[in-house]
Structure 1
Amino acid sequence: MPKHERKDSKLQVRQHNAITNARHELSAIQLDLYFMMLSLLRPGDSPNTNYYISVKEIEDLTGRQWNYQQLREATEGLIGKVFEIEEDDGLLQVAMMSSAKYLRGEGRIQISIDQKLIPYLVDLKNNFTSFQLYCVLSMTSKYAKWMYIQLSRWKDIGFISFEVDQLRYRLNLKDPYGKAPEQYKQWGQFKDNVLEPTVKQINTCSDLRISYTTEKKNRAIHKLHFTIKSVDQFQTVIPFEAQDSDMEAIQLKKRMSDIGILDQKLIKVVLENTDLRKKANKCLFDISLRKNDITNPAGYFRKTMGI
């Protein structure tokens, strides 16, 4: 099966809300692999389509390096992880990944997806969650990654409320059957170790700005009310696996010009090299995040790029 190509100029991941609401526990590495997998899906994919994930691509995007053993354990876990999805006629239990094959000497992982799960991932229609892959990959916390999915679903409305127990359940901190010990059971523990770091990472790394208020019941924190605002600062082209296009080059050139990079020879060097394009986009993303800290964006860009 030939490599599945990306064709979108602005890559987004879309996920059926039945999957968004499904409860399952994944590590940060597994979530990154899962999001990369989702980014490759297209409506009309045949059931036997193979998808290819580049290890170097993930490392470039996340700034984290994984060894073979870590990746092997992550994909093994993904094959064993099960979605539980309530369908009209009953409960569907389905593995999120059917197989994973490490292609020797290629630095790529070939994966396949269970046929029963594919309709939920590619049949988007009007019921989906949309979120930007690069934002998710920029986060290090598994709680932030998963909460970003939940909150992105409600960004057009601008608010959503969760009962604290409901949120603990969604994040797999609390077993609904009471068989596993509850994590971060005390409100202070939950706030300091999960909630506050999650809010900070989403606000720093994504296209959302979120805040929350609490509601008490019998003196205990019972409900969280989230306010969600979208920002445009991350609506940029990120060249995943770089299928070059003139539009991408035009946008990247404009973004370099906006920070004071006007040297045409330097710009030409960046645009003619796929790896430098990726590095430039990531650097520009960092500059947009740290615009209050970086007083000389052009100098920071040159130093980071090594040009």
Structure 2
Amino acid sequence: MGSMEQLEIKETKIQVRHHNVITNARHELSAVQLDIYFMMLSRLKPGDSKDTKYIISVKEIEELTGRQWNYQQLREATAGLIGKVFEIEEEDGLLQVAMMSSAKYLKGQGRIQLSIAEDLKPYLVDLKNNFTSFQLFCVLSMTSKYAKWLYVQFSRWKDLGAMTFEVEQLRYRLNLKDPSGKAPEQYKQWGQFKDYVLEPAIRQINEVSDLRVAYAVTEKKGKSIHKLTFTIKMVSHVQTVIPFESEELDREAAQLKGRLRDIGILDTNLINKILNSTELRKKANKCLYDISLRRKDIINPGGYFRTTLGI
């Protein structure tokens, strides 16, 4: 099954649900970290236990985003996520919690196994009535980390149609301003902030998402811009639908099928024979891993695969 066929399996739009308290938290994440984080969120299900592991496919991220991340970039990104701290205001105090507790790169599979910090999981899994939903495909299609974060905010308020931010509050949330004052403020001048952060982000949201956003200055203090009001409209947006909710075995089968076709194994009967046998799947994955390590030495990967498996 080709990548486009895989992307068209589902007929309903898959949404990621994001707890409002997490949405409000201030954090600094790179584009690749946001991609990994949103993919991880798509795997969450109500009733997940504290020991649940979440597996994401590097190839799937690349297909959705149109960007390629090398191993070192991914490794640095997940290490950074483990070290990132969410600060969440709770009723009885301030909670500081790591947003991810571990990441394991599954050898030869192009997949990452992630686990979520136990203290954070109630905010992500036990969603109940206090959550924000947004379409993962839209977020992953955005290249600007500011667009990603703003889209999450706008999704919270889309039913009301408007939201107001103080400019200083917005700078703080976008991590352009260090509350401790230790780091220099980025895009300090209004013109810089508007030209390099705000308008490019809104333009990208309007181009690739199901929202149409505009803004107006609604309050000044002297000559300084103090408050912005954003108007938010939902539109019918035709987009590729992503099969995030397929069962894990189905995802593995689709990935294995794609890897077999990459080495020239196109016989449908042979592919189905492998997919329907747990033992053959294990042998196939091991052989494909060997091929990836010895790519330069193996002239005919398809022939090597058939010979190794004896089929």
Matching residue's letter, 2:226? H
Find the counterpart in structure 1 of residue 132 from structure 2: 129
Which of 226, 231, 235 in structure 2 is aligned with 1:227? 231
User: In the alignment, residue 191 of structure 1 is paired with which amino acid?
Assistant: K
Residue matched to 2:182? 179
Deviation at 1:137, TM superposition (A): 0.3
* Structure number with larger C-alpha Rg: 2
Is residue 57–residue 241 contact of structure 1 (8 Å, CA) maintained in 2? no
Say if 1:218 and 1:11 are closer, same or farther in 2 by CA, change over 3 A.
Answer: same
Letter in 1 for 2:143: T
Q: Distance in 2 between matches of 1:240 and 1:43?
A: 15
Residues 41 and 121, structure 1, Cα contact 8 Å, conserved in 2? yes
Question: Is 1:168 matched up with 2:171?
Answer: yes
Query: Per the alignment, in what secondary structure is the counterpart of residue 182 of structure 1?
Result: coil
Pick the aligned partner of 2:210 from 207, 216, 223: 207
What secondary structure sits across from 2:89 in the alignment? strand
Counterpart check, 1:145 vs 2:154: no
CA distance in structure 2 between the aligned counterparts of 1:72 and 1:13, rounded to whole angstroms: 24
Judge which range, 8-17 or 153-162, deviates more. Answer: 8-17
> Structure 1 residue 11 and structure 2 residue 14: aligned?
yes
Judge conservation of contact 2:98–2:117 (CA < 8 Å) in 1: yes
Q: What amino acid is aligned across from residue 63 of structure 1 in structure 2?
A: G
What is the alpha-carbon root mean square deviation over aligned residues?
A: 2.2
Per the alignment, do residues 46 and 242 of structure 1 end up closer, same or farther by CA in structure 2, a change over 3 Å counting?
A: closer
Match of 1:30 among 33, 42, 50: 33
Instruction: Decide whether the 8 Å contact of 2:43 with 2:245 is kept in 1.
Output: no
Conservation of the 8 A alpha-carbon contact between 1:174 and 1:181: yes
User: How far did residue 95 of structure 1 move?
Assistant: 0.4
CA contact (8 A) 2:100 2:115 kept: yes
Question: Partner of 1:72: helix, strand, or coil?
Answer: helix
Count residues with an aligned counterpart: 241
One-letter amino acid of the counterpart of residue 216, structure 1:
K
Within 2, Cα distance between the matches of 1:52 and 1:125? 24
Provide the residue aligned with 1:86 in structure 2: 89
Taking structure 2 as the reference length, what is the TM-score of the superposition? Answer: 0.74
Q: TM-score, normalised by structure 1?
A: 0.75
> Are the counterparts in 2 of residues 216 and 222 from structure 1 also a CA contact under 8 Å?
yes
Residue identity in the other structure for 2:242: I
Mapped contact 2:87–2:97 kept (Cα < 8 A): yes
Where do 5+ consecutive residues of structure 1 fail to align? 1-6, 245-307
SS in 1 for 2:77: helix
Task: List alignment gaps of at least 5 residues for structure 2.
Answer: 1-9, 249-311
